[in-house]
A and B are shown apart, each in its own frame.
Chain A
């Protein structure tokens, strides 16, 4: 799997958009970009994934650059409940495991 690089931590104001960057410069054509988050003491929660195109669901938007070497997860209106560790994962289409790195600790402040 391609390795990913994320900032260690970031703060966000409640009600504002949170933009979480991720670099994956060695990604290959068959690897998807996944985002998960882990709220304290809970299991990882799937957020969104994409291959080439930008994606949006009820939780977030995923913006993937044209060269696919980086992506940004956007939480449009952050709430206190969005405080969590966010993981950007690049996974080959047939790989069984998800490789979780250190992630970005996001703290949403009132």
Chain B
């Protein structure tokens, strides 16, 4: 059981380039999330999805777009990468949003913008 899988694991971009981070989960979870973690800081929610075909903004959505065309996949896009987007990006999924539904995380994508 793979759980939550993120690709790629590492990437270096130049300012202004675009890219898409892929998150896939095999637990049939309804909810999926994208977080970013900067050095010495906790995770901050970028965007989330409550089901196939839905997306919503989190705490720090600017500069990112997301899509959830299939239930098992959640894509995070950077249209024009900026150095401030250098971070580690984590995807998570959960069965629901109730307090008794834990989020399960992938191992992250380490992204550097030069």
Chain A residues with CB under 8 Å of chain B are 30-32, 34, 41-46, 49, 51, 87, 91-103
Contact = CB atoms under 8 A, between A and B. Distances in A.
9 contacts: A31-B99, A41-B107, A46-B105, A93-B97, A93-B100, A94-B99, A97-B33, A97-B58, A100-B43
| Interface SS, A side | loop
A42 B89 CA distance: 11
Interface string B14-43: 000000000000000001010000001011
Contact of A44 (B43, B56, B97): B43
Interface in B84-103: 90, 92, 97-100, 102-103
A98 B43 contact: yes
Contacts of A91: 99
Given A41-B107, A44-B90, A93-B97, 9 more contacts: A31-B99, A32-B99, A42-B108, A45-B105, A46-B104, A49-B100, A51-B100, A96-B48, A97-B59
